Amino acid sequence: MEELLETFFRHGHHEGIVVTLNEDGSPNTAPMGVDLERPYLLLRPYLTTKTYVNLRMFPELTINLTWDSLLFYRSLYGLKELRFRGSRKVKTPVIDGGIDLYVEGEVLKVLEDRVLGYAEVLVKPLDAYLGSGSRLAYSRADALLIEVMIYLTKAEVFAEVNPEVASMLVERMEPYLLIAERLGSDEVREIALELRSRLARFRRG
Ligand SMILES: Cc1cc2nc3c(=O)[nH]c(=O)nc-3n(C[C@H](O)[C@H](O)[C@H](O)COP(=O)(O)O)c2cc1C
């Protein structure tokens, strides 16, 4: 397990899809940054996320690593289109699909920062194993779409408290979408179109 974590998290900070359990036992998914804090993993969910609320209630999770922007997109906006299957060590399922590495874990410690509005959640990995793989070469289109999703979700958080900042964040995303559309497949262009219409809601003026 340690070797897989060292390999897949070798840049220190990576993005994954975190699955947690809702109160009714159904899965919730959200892309989240994951840091390797040997021998543990560290998440920084905003206190307002369902992921955080769920982890406080039921402190087990799976982390699903992939290159595929479609899976990131579905984990945010198309949960119904994701398939799940049982995990090995925890009750929380894993995503059934193009996943490179699965990590199952339990929450070891939580530190809330109420001023900044997020928590540091230290996760003890219980198991790590390969999935069927995203089977995808590095694509700038995937990377840029995932970047757009990061700023779109930030804009969603800022929209209430600071609409100016939300608007500034979405303006910055247009060049990324243009490149993704130029380099990507029809699938990428479809996601880009969806993201563009979501971004439009935060535009001012
Ligand atoms: C690649 C990526 C990484 C993200 N990392 C984080 C993170 O580390 N912490 C966080 O709170 N939100 C992060 N987000 C935003 C959440 O995924 C987003 O707010 C989501 O809607 C939370 O879902 P939930 O309320 O179901 O947990 C990230 C988004 C993307 C696309």
Instruction: Answer yes or no: is pLDDT of 205 > 60.
Output: no
CA 80 – ligand 1 centroid, Å = 18
- In tens, the pLDDT along 83-140 reads 999 999 999 999 999 999 999 999 999 999 999 999 999 999 999 999 999 999 999 9
CA 26 – ligand 1 centroid, Å = 18
Distance CA 45, CA 149 (A): 16
Domains of the chain: 2-130 (2.30.110.10), 140-200 (no CATH)
Give the binding-site residues of ligand 1, using a 6 Å CB cut-off: 15, 28, 30-33, 44-46, 49-51, 72, 76, 146, 149-150, 153
Quick one: DSSP state of residue 9? T
- Ligand 1 nearest-atom number relative to CA 149: 31
Probe target for ligand 1 pocket from 32, 121, 144, with the most ligand atoms within 8 Å of CB: 32
Instruction: Answer yes or no: is pLDDT of 163 > 90.
Output: no
The better pLDDT of the pair 31, 172 is held by 31
CA 5 – ligand 1 centroid, Å = 21
Instruction: Answer yes or no: is pLDDT of 144 > 70.
Output: yes
- Ligand 1 nearest-atom number relative to CA 156: 19
Of residues 44, 46, 55, 47, the one with CA closest to residue 20: 55
Q: What is the mean pLDDT of residues 176-204?
A: 92
Q: Give residue 162's pLDDT band: very low, low, confident or very high (50, 70, 90).
A: confident
| Dihedral angle computed from the Cα positions of residues 47, 52, 55 and 61, in that order, rounded to the nearest 10 degrees | -150
- Ligand 1 nearest-atom number relative to CA 51: 27
Q: Give residue 182's pLDDT band: very low, low, confident or very high (50, 70, 90).
A: very high
Q: Give residue 46's pLDDT band: very low, low, confident or very high (50, 70, 90).
A: very high
> What's the pTM?
0.96
Q: Give me the pLDDT at residue 85, please.
A: 98
φ, ψ for residue 157, nearest 5 deg: -70, -40
Instruction: Answer yes or no: is pLDDT of 204 > 80.
Output: no
φ, ψ for residue 110, nearest 5 deg: -130, 130
- In tens, the pLDDT along 4-39 reads 999 999 999 999 999 999 999 999 999 999 999 999
CA 90 – ligand 1 centroid, Å = 22
Q: Give me the pLDDT at residue 151, please.
A: 93
Q: How many CB atoms lie within 10 A of CB 90?
A: 20
**Residue bearing the CA closest to ligand 1, atom 20:** 30
- In tens, the pLDDT along 48-71 reads 999 999 999 999 999 999 999 999
